[in-house]
Structure formats: C-alpha cells, structure tokens
C-alpha cells in the first residue's frame, strides 16, 4: 500500500491524461494490455535504454515495448533508414528491393527458405495457422496450455483460466480467453501441457481416433508469458519427432523469442528446426512488422496460390527499410554477445539476491529476456505456474521498480527485455532495487 501510494503521487499527470482519455478511447487506452490499476503510466519519450513519462519521471526501460525494442529507443541507424526512405514514399502496396534483402537474411538466420511479411505477431500466427491447415488439409490446431499467440480467435483459447478449471493434463479444456469467441472456433483448438511430450503424443493419438488429428502444433520453444519457462532437455527434440511422425506442421511462434534471444532465435538457440516460424516484436525496431518463414513444402500452398497470404501493408517500404537496417546493421553478432553479457549479469545478480535473502524464487533468462519467478518450486508449465506463483510478491516487485526508476511490464507473467543500449550500470540499478525490496521484506 505504501509503495502504491508513492507511485500514485508521482504520476498525477498520467492520472489526468487517463481521465481525459476516457472520453473517446474505450476504457481510456489504445489496447487492453496497456491498462493497469489505478491508471496507466503515459510515456512521453525514450532514448537508448531510458524512457520518461509525462510527469517527468525518468527510468531505465526493462519493458521495452513488450520486448520489441531490443535495439533501444530512437536508435540512430534505424532513424536514418526511416528518414532516408520517407522522402521516397512510404507506401505503394507493390514490392521494393528491401523486402528481398530482408527475406534473404531471415532465410539465412532461420535456415528456412520461404518468407512472407505481416504487420504484427497476431497476423503472423493467424496466417501461419491458415497455411498449416491448407498444407495438412485438417482443421484442428494444437497449442500449449497457457501460451499466448496473439488476439485472433483460433489462439485466444486456453491461455488463462478466467472461465473455469483447466482439466486433467491428458484432457485439458478448450477455454475461450475473453468474450466474443465462437464456441465452434474454441473447440477446434486443443491444448496440451508444456514440457510433456508424452501428453502431446497421447492427445494426438486420441484426437486422431476421433477424426480430429491436428493440422499443426503452434508453440513457443521457451514459454514467454509465465515469466520465462525453458524447455526441459530433450522436450523440443521429442516434439519435433512426434509432429514429424504424425505429419503435423510444427510452428515455433518466435514473436517473443525471435530476434530477442539469438541471431536465429530460439530455433538456433535450441537447435531444433520447425516447419514454420512466426516473427514480429524486435524485427521492425518498433515499427508494426511481422514475418512468417517456412519450408519449401509447407509454403508451396502460398506459392501455388491456394492460400491467400495478403495484406495491404505487408512489406510496407518503411517497415522493410527498418527491418533491413535492424538485421544487417544493428542486431549484429557483437550485439548478441553484449546482450548475453548483460543477461548473465542480471540473472546472476538477481539469483544472488534470492540466495542472500532466501526468497521463494529463482532467476531465469535467455538472450535479452529473463525474470525472477517468485515460486518455491520450479515452474515447468501452466499448472505449476498457477500452483506455485507468488502473485503478491510479483506485484510488489513491479511497484518497487517503478518507484525507483525501473520501467517494467505491468503483468505478473511478464519478463524483462534488455536492449543493446543497456549497460552494466542499468543492470546494477535493477539488481540494487531488487536487493532493496528483498532486504525490506526480510528485516
């Protein structure tokens, strides 16, 4: 309560803006994920690893646009690419050369030969699923219970449990995530637990018997919305094996892992090649861009014209110019080395605090992403997250951060994202705030 009151006091201009916004913005925001109690923090600007809000509070940014700004705010190389493109026109709905260069580079990084562009992560997963359904000639989609893959109907299923119990691990329920999703669509998506290849195999066999074999499995190689949940050794290899055996398209949703964890994303990091990948955040350096990559076989349904993978703004010149500069000149191998150095330091620093004060939790991270999971037992899937996560401690950590110059994602299930402009100083500031909270809690 003390920390909440402190934050309220220093964000009074945000409060006023929120009141103003209620008039014509539904709920006072542009997207429901921007809401937080009692009001959202309105930002004014950002530069490199820093952001500042309308009240003049300046902070280290560990939110980074839900992980999109891995190149840092107002990156001058991206700025130049956009500024050079603008006077030559920003939209034609006709191809430009930059799209070819970006396609070549993504193919090189992901070892998948065929690419298309979209404008967001949701569009990427929506189109990838349609392509997989067309290729496999089946309708059912398999996902991991608890995973978020964007806001289209097929994947707004079995993410959280506002509407009921999750069910037995061999028969997890298909639950809508929010209202307005047709039940017929919800029932076409089937969820299985993360880190349990046997459960996946059993469910596929059961569905096959019912004549509902899945067209695809869509999953993150490491779950990124329960904090960070890493795949257990051998899990991804087993999933690859199972999907291949059953003729099911394996889609790695790399919207959060992609450019943020390694040059070739989680695919490179874990060494398991899916049939398709979806990208967005981190790809366009803050511009609304996305991409889908796939094998020759799967993408043949796009090439032969049977699937319409379309969009007025796909391959938008401004977007592809930003992607090109981002991939070729900003997110270089050295940039990933720097991120690895920083992440080792922040994960190590936070784990030291956990150990020093004997907190119920652990620090975990890959690439630019990581978190402290406040749970006495290791979280391996949604059920263990639900059972063990200490929500109030996660909420308190957010307030401590905000009150001490660390801007973080608002949800309990979110993680930090570092940018290549972060420094040891930023990391030390983060760890120091965590230490302060732990000390206050335990003394």
E strands present in 48-140: 50-53, 58-61, 114-118
Considering the complex, what minimum distance in angstroms separates the CB of residue 125 from ligand PLP?
Answer: 5
CB 170, CB 202: distance < 8 Å: yes
Considering the complex, what minimum distance in angstroms separates the CB of residue 220 from ligand PLP?
Answer: 5
CB 333, CB 108: distance < 8 Å: no
Considering the complex, what minimum distance in angstroms separates the CB of residue 25 from ligand PLP?
Answer: 18
Asked whether position 280 contacts ligand PLP by CB under 6 A, the answer is yes
- Residue among 224 and 323 whose Cβ is closer to ligand PLP: 224
Phi first, then psi: give them for residue 417, nearest 5 degrees. -130, 125
Q: Which residue has the tokens 């006091």?
A: 9
Burial class of residue 24, CB neighbours in 10 A (0-12, 13-18, 19+): exposed
Q: 36-95: which residues touch ligand PLP (CB under 6 A)?
A: 66
- Residue among 220 and 381 whose Cβ is closer to ligand PLP: 220
Q: Which residue has the tokens 């014209």?
A: 305
Question: Applying CB under 6 A, which part among 250-258, 266-274, 298-306, 329-337 lies near ligand PLP?
Answer: 250-258
Question: What whole-number distance in Å separates Cα of residue 218 and Cα of residue 31?
Answer: 24
- Residue among 33 and 92 whose Cβ is closer to ligand PLP: 33
Asked whether position 122 contacts ligand PLP by CB under 6 A, the answer is yes
Question: What whole-number distance in Å separates Cα of residue 93 and Cα of residue 412?
Answer: 40
Burial class of residue 56, CB neighbours in 10 A (0-12, 13-18, 19+): exposed
Q: Tell me how long the chain is.
A: 443
Considering the complex, what minimum distance in angstroms separates the CB of residue 171 from ligand PLP?
Answer: 25
Question: Applying CB under 6 A, which part among 7-15, 34-42, 147-155, 406-414 lies near ligand PLP?
Answer: 147-155
Q: 342-371: which residues touch ligand PLP (CB under 6 A)?
A: none
Q: Out of 116, 149, 213, 369, which residue is the one contacting ligand PLP (CB under 6 A)?
A: 149
Considering the complex, what minimum distance in angstroms separates the CB of residue 160 from ligand PLP?
Answer: 14
- Residue among 126 and 197 whose Cβ is closer to ligand PLP: 126
CB 405, CB 429: distance < 8 Å: yes
Q: Which long-range contacts (CB under 8 A, 24 or more apart) does 99-102 make?
A: 99/315, 99/320, 101/324, 101/328, 102/291, 102/320, 102/323, 102/324, 102/327
Q: What are the distances in angstroms from CA 307 to CA 38, 300, 441?
A: 45, 9, 56
Q: Out of 120, 154, 343, 421, which residue is the one contacting ligand PLP (CB under 6 A)?
A: 120
Provide the 3-class DSSP secondary structure of residue 90: coil
- Residue among 122 and 417 whose Cβ is closer to ligand PLP: 122
Considering the complex, what minimum distance in angstroms separates the CB of residue 180 from ligand PLP?
Answer: 17
Q: What are the distances in angstroms from CA 334 to CA 22, 160, 262, 354, 372?
A: 45, 38, 11, 30, 26
Q: Out of 125, 309, 316, 373, which residue is the one contacting ligand PLP (CB under 6 A)?
A: 125
Binding mask 308-327 for ligand PLP (x = CB under 6 A): --------------------
Asked whether position 253 contacts ligand PLP by CB under 6 A, the answer is yes
Question: Applying CB under 6 A, which part among 114-122, 300-308, 393-401, 411-419 lies near ligand PLP?
Answer: 114-122
CB 333, CB 263: distance < 8 Å: yes
Q: Out of 61, 220, 275, 413, which residue is the one contacting ligand PLP (CB under 6 A)?
A: 220
Q: Out of 40, 72, 103, 121, which residue is the one contacting ligand PLP (CB under 6 A)?
A: 121
CB 433, CB 400: distance < 8 Å: yes
Question: Applying CB under 6 A, which part among 70-78, 119-127, 185-193, 432-440 lies near ligand PLP?
Answer: 119-127
Provide the 3-class DSSP secondary structure of residue 9: helix
Count residues binding ligand PLP (CB under 6 A).
Answer: 14
- Residue among 216 and 354 whose Cβ is closer to ligand PLP: 216
Q: Which residues bind ligand PLP (CB under 6 A)?
A: 66, 120-122, 125, 148-150, 220, 224, 253, 255-256, 280
């Amino acid at each position: 309560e003390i920390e909440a009151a402190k934050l309220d006091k220093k964000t009074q201009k945000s409060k006023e803006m929120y009141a103003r916004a209620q008039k014509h913005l539904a709920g006072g925001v542009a997207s429901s994920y921007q809401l937080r109690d009692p009001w959202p923090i309105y930002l004014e600007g950002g530069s490199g690893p820093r952001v500042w809000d309308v009240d003049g509070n300046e902070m280290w940014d560990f939110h980074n646009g839900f992980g999109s700004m891995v190149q840092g705010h107002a990156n001058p190389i991206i700025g130049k690419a956009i500024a050079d493109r603008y006077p030559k026109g920003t939209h034609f709905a006709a191809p430009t050369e930059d799209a070819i260069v970006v396609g070549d580079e993504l193919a090189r990084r992901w070892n998948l030969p065929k690419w298309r562009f979209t404008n967001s992560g949701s569009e990427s997963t929506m189109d990838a699923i349609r392509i997989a359904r067309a290729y496999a000639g089946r309708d059912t989609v398999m996902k991991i219970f608890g995973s978020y893959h964007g806001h289209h109907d097929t994947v707004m299923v079995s993410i959280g449990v506002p509407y009921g119990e999750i069910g037995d691990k061999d028969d997890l329920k298909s639950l809508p995530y929010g209202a307005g999703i047709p039940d017929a669509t919800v029932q076409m998506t089937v969820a299985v637990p993360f880190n349990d290849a046997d459960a996946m195999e059993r469910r596929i066999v059961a569905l096959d018997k019912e004549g509902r074999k899945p067209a695809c499995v869509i999953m993150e190689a490491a779950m990124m919305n329960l904090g960070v949940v890493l795949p257990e050794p051998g899990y991804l290899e087993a999933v690859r094996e199972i999907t291949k055996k059953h003729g099911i398209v394996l889609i790695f949703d790399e919207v959060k892992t992609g450019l943020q964890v390694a040059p070739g994303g989680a695919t490179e990091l874990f060494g398991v090649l899916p049939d398709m990948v979806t990208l967005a955040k981190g790809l366009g350096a803050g511009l609304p861009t996305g991409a889908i990559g796939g094998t020759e076989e799967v993408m043949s349904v796009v090439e032969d014209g049977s699937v319409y993978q379309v969009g007025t703004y796909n391959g938008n010149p401004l977007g592809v110019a930003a992607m090109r500069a981002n991939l070729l000149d900003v997110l270089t191998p050295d940039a990933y080395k720097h991120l690895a150095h920083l992440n080792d330091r922040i994960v190590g620093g936070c784990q030291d605090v956990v150990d020093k004060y004997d907190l119920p939790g652990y620090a975990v991270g890959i690439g630019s992403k990581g978190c402290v999971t406040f749970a006495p037992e290791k979280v391996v899937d949604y059920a263990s997250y639900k059972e063990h996560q200490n929500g109030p401690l996660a909420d308190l950590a957010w307030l401590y951060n905000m009150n001490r110059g660390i801007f973080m994602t608002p949800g309990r299930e979110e993680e930090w994202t570092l940018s290549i402009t972060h420094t040891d100083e930023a990391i030390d500031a983060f760890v120091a705030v965590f230490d302060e909270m732990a000390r206050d809690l335990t003394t």
